[in-house]
Chains A and B, each alone.
Chain A
Amino acid sequence: MKPPDSAPPVLEMRSVEAAYGPFRALFGVSLHVGEGEAVGILGANGAGKTAVARVASGLVPPNAGAVHIGGVDMSGENAYKFARAGVAHAPEGRSVLATFTVRENLELSFRRALGRRGVKSGLDRAFDFFPRLGERRNQIAGTLSGGEQRMLSLARVLVEEPRLLIADELSLGLAPIIIDEVYRILESIRGAGTSLLIIEQHVTYAQNLCDRIVLMDHGQLDWVGPAQQAGDALAARLFSPNSPRQ
């Protein structure tokens, strides 16, 4: 909606290269997320979307290039510093502590992010967002269903209202009603000032929420533009005449 003006962007990646061991995942990715902006990343499996999210939350240090959070160079810093700078990352899949209860999973993060006093109201909000988690607050997270684990992972970052919220494969494994609910919450916390970087496979959802959309392919940005035009760009790539289809 509004391009970054004088204030430094919440997230800025400059020509980032990254690798998992010998496997190179990103080749010179430059990307920024402005204050209050919502950016969506789309791309095929293996295109490097998850790597972008991991670099942005400090899990994977860039081999070259730089990552700035709120104008501060954080390249090579540990992930806990990113978290303390206001980056909350809900990784893809079942990223919960499997031997912890639902409540402990949330508490671990809330104790620092919301303070000791804030834990209770944080839990209440989380269970308000996802009543199903409230019903199972003392259940071991590893025994939850995939969708419930996904909710737990998202509940943590949604409640904290961080400066930058990163969600990987946001809607994967969630029932459509829950997806709608998640997007409603995202919309509202975005109104409260949280910037969003989300990885999504549902084009329409991403378009409705995001200001800008990034298409990725083979570790590079393929296309960056306003969300409304993303559908056409995508269709052009999906059904391009030079695809090797018979």
Chain B
Amino acid sequence: MILASVGEDFFRAILQGTPSGTVFALVALGFVLTYKTSGVFNLAFGAQAYISAALYFHAVNQWGWSTVPALLLSVFAVAPAIGLVLERTMFRRLRTASAVAKLVVAIGLNVALPAIFELAVRYEPVAGRTPTGIVPNGASVFYDPFGIYPFSRDELAQMAVALCGALLLAALFRFTSIGLSMRAVVESPRMTEMAGIRADWVSAFAWALSSAFAGMAGVLIAPRFNTLIAPDFFYLVVVAIAAAAIGRLVSLPRALAGGLLLGWGTAVFNTFAPDWAESFTFLEPLTDNITPAIPFIVLFGILVLWPAIRRLREANDPMAGVDPPPPAPPDYKRHPYLTMGIRAFTLSFLIILGWVVFTQADVRWLFLVTQAVVLSIVYLSITVITGFAGQISLCQGAFAAIGGFTVFQMADRWDVPVLLAAVAGAFVAAAVGGLLSIPVLRLGGVWLALATLAFAYFFDAVVVKFPWVGGGETSLFQGTRIPRPHLGPLDFNDDKAFLVLALIVLVVVSSLVIQLREGTIGRTLRVLRGSEVAAESIGISPAKARVAAFAVSAFIAGLGGAMLSMHQENVNYPNNFAPATALFWLVLVVSLSARTVEGAIQAGAAFSLFPPIILNGTILAWILRAEERVPGIFPVSPKWRFVLFGLAAVQYARHPEGMLEFSKRRSISRLDARLFEKYPHAGHAKLRRARRGEPAARPEAVAEESES
């Protein structure tokens, strides 16, 4: 009797899990398709799916189009066109770039694409407006084949497309020339060309195909959402990566199975976990929150525990030596007088800026400037991990949130002084960061980025919900309130006083970061970034330095997160620290300059001041001395910052030092060359050598004829 009921429960759970499993499978199939045919970990896949879904929805609802033309436009015209544009303008040139560089490009696109789309068709997501699907009455007509659990028409359509898609694509790869060619181009474009195949066309076709599939998946799964917004699709992509990882990232049928397994596993867990929790009450908070985290735990576990998956694509292009390496960044050496001049200029600029802020700014501007300062602190954590150590961490938001929540909990429960709590929060974040780094550091590169992303979503889905972290139900109504600090006679409730405090912390953290950069750790990280084998050959063990980098980075993020929470007097997790927000942080810092302290500060300013000053037309009004003369296009939508910085981050592959840093170096070295031409110094040597056409020490191709 009991067994029979368990069997029935199990069967129902399987049926229940099938629709969501199908959705995971659809996205996983698309992700694997892109990965297989382009070699890119396309985190922008969700953005592409979102664009088609929203375009379809918009065409049907706003423009009154009927299903078929809207579908043709969104899935079969716009989606492949986006793919072609991406291939032609970006990924074709990135074929030989490192996987990490391609990942950063995809992250930049993930930020830029939805904003571009929304600006182009003036689409605004409206909360609670559920998208319509392509199937007539898809969400309201149900079929119940087993008499246990009914499926909607939409769900059946998704299942059909997922299954047929998997079979057709698998057949495409197995039996056709184009399938074979697409795989070959990913592995070695040059080898493919030597076989007489036009690699450019093949990869263009691959991008059009996978983008159309993204669009199809987007349109099909859109009805599952209450509101059509881009971050939900990104979330789905991360889940789908877990499903794809089950399929070793290259097998389409296994990606399908992986998606279904995730859906089923979650449903089975949901069915039976409450029973277990009844018997073991201490499990209750865990079982309540763990379900949404299953995919992320799976992804993290696979990455860490299954080394085979990491080795998978590390097969090198045998013809990699043919294409020259990207040019080195411009010289960073300059005449000492020029350095002094630049410093004097910067200092006077900052003094004037400070004077203006402290005497002229109203409450709103003070808030924005303080936010810029506080975010700069957070961004310095990215400087350490990405700029110095060269690792892409996507969980800096979680570290920052740990800082914020620690302050909240300590102040709320034990009335600990907030400043003390902020330092404690930073240490907690450092401990978490250090612990997390131990399993993930071995991964390196793309795998490290994915593991940190999984951790960020795990934190988002589970940890934040624990009462001893996010405050549980009480904070739903009261928020996670944090008082402003007091220090003896100093009361930081005053906004100007708090700005001073934030500036002091920023200066302290900045000098700490500079000390690290100039000290042993910074130099060790720099040489590890340059050549790991060479670093090992002089006795450096990479793991130690990188754990330290992770812990320091998490410490800074935690401190910054605590400051941010104090400034807003609320942790405000969903707005400040959610994974998608943290993704934009990375984009900002990387696109400006991840290697310098100035870069982090500029990124902080860009986040909070760019929209009100530039996009609102404020600066233009000031220049023109009259608000009415500002052209009608102002105020520009704040979404433009996603477009601008997202597209700037796309340049990471060519300029890992950051676009701003690149142009800065270039103009400074030009200025340097012009001013001090008569007094050559070290920085000019490269220029001279280049003019003489002599080989440099660095090119990769030097020894390519020799035995390896």
Contact flag A108-B192 (CB < 8 Å), given A20-B322, A95-B319: yes
Interface of A is mostly: mixed
Contact flag A59-B187 (CB < 8 Å), given A98-B315, A108-B181: no
Query: B180 to A99, Cβ gap below 8 A?
Result: no
Is the CB of A132 closer than 8 A to any CB of chain B? no
Query: A21 to B187, Cβ gap below 8 A?
Result: no
Query: B319 to A59, Cβ gap below 8 A?
Result: yes
Query: Which partner residue on chain B sits nearest A141 by CB separation?
Result: B315
Is the CB of B321 closer than 8 A to any CB of chain A? yes
Identify which of A19, A99, A109 contacts B195 (C-beta below 8 A): A109
Stretch of A42-50, A66-74, A202-210, A228-236 with 4 or more beta carbons under 8 angstroms from chain B: A42-50
A148 to chain B, nearest CB (A): 14
Is the CB of A223 closer than 8 A to any CB of chain B? no
| Cα distance, A98 to B200, chains bound together (Å) | 21
- What's the interface size class on B, roughly? 35 or more
- Which chain B positions have C-beta within 8 A of A19? 324
Contact flag A24-B180 (CB < 8 Å), given A99-B187, A142-B315: no
Query: B695 to A108, Cβ gap below 8 A?
Result: no
- Which chain B positions have C-beta within 8 A of A47? 705
Is the CB of B494 closer than 8 A to any CB of chain A? no
A3 to chain B, nearest CB (A): 29
| Cα distance, A99 to B156, chains bound together (Å) | 35
Interface hits, A157-172 → B, CB 8 Å: none
Q: Mark A36-55, 1 if CB is under 8 A from B, else 0.
A: 00000000011101110010
Interface hits, A108-122 → B, CB 8 Å: 108-109, 111-113
- Which chain A positions have C-beta within 8 A of B322? 20, 54, 59-60
Contact flag A99-B315 (CB < 8 Å), given A45-B706, A79-B194, A84-B196: yes
Is the CB of A93 closer than 8 A to any CB of chain B? yes
Stretch of B70-78, B390-398, B618-626, B696-704 with 4 or more beta carbons under 8 angstroms from chain A: B696-704
Query: B695 to A80, Cβ gap below 8 A?
Result: no
A20 to chain B, nearest CB (A): 3
> In the complex, how many residues of chain A place their beta carbon closer than 8 angstroms to a beta carbon of chain B?
44
Query: B324 to A108, Cβ gap below 8 A?
Result: no
Query: B315 to A108, Cβ gap below 8 A?
Result: no
Query: A107 to B180, Cβ gap below 8 A?
Result: yes
- Which chain B positions have C-beta within 8 A of A57? 194
Contact flag A99-B183 (CB < 8 Å), given A45-B705, A91-B319: yes
- Which chain B positions have C-beta within 8 A of A93? 318, 708
Beyond A22-B699, A23-B696, A95-B191, 7 additional contacts (C-beta under 8 Å) are A22-B690, A45-B707, A50-B704, A59-B322, A80-B195, A100-B187, A108-B197
Counting from the closest, the 9 A-B pairs by CB-CB distance are A21-B324, A20-B701, A83-B196, A98-B315, A79-B193, A109-B195, A95-B318, A80-B193, A23-B699
Instruction: Enumerate 28 A-B pairs (CB-CB under 8 Å) in ascending A order.
Output: A20-B321, A20-B324, A23-B699, A23-B701, A24-B693, A47-B705, A51-B705, A58-B193, A59-B193, A79-B194, A80-B192, A80-B196, A80-B199, A83-B194, A89-B194, A94-B318, A97-B188, A98-B187, A98-B315, A98-B318, A99-B315, A100-B187, A104-B180, A108-B180, A111-B180, A112-B195, A112-B197, A113-B196
